[in-house]
Structure 1
Amino acid sequence: MAQGSEIIKYEEEFIQNSRGLKLFTCRWIPANQDPKALIFLCHGYAMECSISMKGTGIQLAKAGYAVYGIDLEGHGKSSGLQGYIPSFENIVNDCDEHFTNICERNENEKKKRFIFGESMGGALVLLLHRKKPTYWDGAILVAPMCKV
């Protein structure tokens, strides 16, 4: 995907989670530079990464970040009854597994790691951070679904 003088590489892939469900993943990577850091997107309820968070992914990749998204169970192109989340703990674990696998690749070991959540994804980000508080370098919350 050409963006002015910069080029962003966009890729899609299906992975299988520990419960055997097929989950859609996508990524926006700066094509001509080593990424400054890794950013992991958590979308909101009834949303999906490749469409509803596309603009965010593109802008962050244009700014030099590697951006990774995953469609949660029952959302977007992932398996599961659309809009139904049988267990919030399961989607936390799905994101944790996928994001950790990416972070621990040789080329990413020394890169900073940020989680970005919008709406329901904000609640997911808070739970991911609580699960591994020293693992993440920061969190970005956009209109998070949480109770004060």
Structure 2
Amino acid sequence: MASDPNSTTPPNFWGDTPEEEYYTSQGVTHSSSYFTTPHGRLFTQTWKPLSSSSRALVCFTHGYGSDTGWLFQKLPIAFAQWGYLSIAADLLGHGRSDGLRCYMGDMNKVASASLIYFQSVRDSDECKEIPAFLFGESMGGLATMMMHFLDPNGWSGLMFSAPLFVIPEPMKPSRVRLFLYGMLMGLADTWAVMPDNKMVGKAIKDPEKLKIIASNPRRYTGTPRVGTMRELKRVCEYIQANFDKVKVPFLTVHGTADGVTAPESSKWLYEKASSEDKTLKLYEGMYHSLVQGEPDENSERVLADMREWIDARVDKLQNVKK
């Protein structure tokens, strides 16, 4: 991606190093493309292990206002370094995908678009013989859970990082606002007029990483749209009522000081899911962004737990296959 000569922001979070050179230095190969769905065109990215075949497929979904590039890609890069084929798609309304910026008035459509892409890779000749996992961070966890409900039997497991299943009280949309805007018969659905409650500052603990994340040229910086908040509230309530439908193995991780998505999201999932194989990791004092926004020693601890979890499940699946 070429940089804007009038901008002081580097083209990538690591600076001005060419993409191919950077990814090679990380031990991965990288590619990007567009994928057309019935709901709109998605910008997609792939990270592969540089020197080995892929042990499994991991499909990543980012959070609200973010995209699959910039610091989010530290997650798929790490998994590719561990031997996993990592793919991700900018959600509709985000990054370089189609849609009005950060408008998610129909989360079923948003989740379905990404799921169609993930299924196309999962069912391809390259991946049909290896395990496949869904990974969702923050609001991406909400979208990931919806994908699982739409396709409950197609995945070997789920992974969540600070998922949005329970909205913290300070972040909840005002019922009065939603009611009043709702009386406008949908005319206000796309209006960006809801309070944002300074979400970025609540998500990132490390001040230097906060500066990097805030400089992402594709990050949505407007206030939340009416339809988005209405829909997030609705879908959170739906998922809470259906936690028991989750039966596959899963890992969910959460910081206890998360001010953006309530830690109860992970706790309730763990308590109510029907899965026999379920793992909850709570990190005392950590904020929302566990991998991209914490000091390095904290991020490395979280990544180590993620690697231990997925390695063990893939090993078990491969042994069963033998």
Which TM-score bucket, shorter chain as reference? Answer: over 0.9
Give every structure 1 segment of 4 or more consecutive aligned residues whose post-TM-superposition deviation is greater than 2 Å: none
Q: Out of 143, 147, 153, which is 1:134 matched to? A: 153
Is it true that 1:2 corresponds to 2:32 in the alignment?
Answer: no
Question: Which residue does the alignment assign to 1:17?
Answer: 37
User: What stretches of structure 2 of length at least 5 have no aligned partner?
Assistant: 1-22, 167-267, 269-322
CA contact 2:24–2:50 (8 Å) conserved in 1 = no
Question: Which residue does the alignment assign to 2:62?
Answer: 43
Q: Kindly state the Cα deviation for residue 86 of structure 1 after the two structures are TM-superposed.
A: 2.7
Q: Kindly state the Cα deviation for residue 30 of structure 1 after the two structures are TM-superposed.
A: 0.9
Is it true that 1:146 corresponds to 2:168 in the alignment?
Answer: no
- Comparing 93-102 with 126-135, greater Cα deviation is found at 126-135
Question: Which residue does the alignment assign to 2:73?
Answer: 54
CA contact 2:92–2:98 (8 Å) conserved in 1 = yes
Specify which structure has the higher proportion of strand.
Answer: 1
Question: Which residue does the alignment assign to 2:12?
Answer: none
Q: Out of 111, 125, 148, which is 1:92 matched to? A: 111
The total of aligned residue pairs comes to 145
RMSD over aligned Cα atoms: 1.3
Question: Which residue does the alignment assign to 2:142?
Answer: 123
Question: Which residue does the alignment assign to 1:111?
Answer: 130
Q: Kindly state the Cα deviation for residue 72 of structure 1 after the two structures are TM-superposed.
A: 0.7
Question: Which residue does the alignment assign to 2:231?
Answer: none
Q: Give the Cα–Cα distance (whole angstroms) in 2 for the partners of residues 62 and 74 of structure 1.
A: 29
Secondary structure at the aligned position of 1:61 is classed as helix
Secondary structure at the aligned position of 1:9 is classed as strand
Q: Kindly state the Cα deviation for residue 146 of structure 1 after the two structures are TM-superposed.
A: 0.2
Q: Give the Cα–Cα distance (whole angstroms) in 2 for the partners of residues 139 and 92 of structure 1.
A: 15
Specify which structure has the higher proportion of helix.
Answer: 2
Q: Kindly state the Cα deviation for residue 114 of structure 1 after the two structures are TM-superposed.
A: 0.5
Q: Give the Cα–Cα distance (whole angstroms) in 1 for the partners of residues 126 and 32 of structure 2.
A: 19
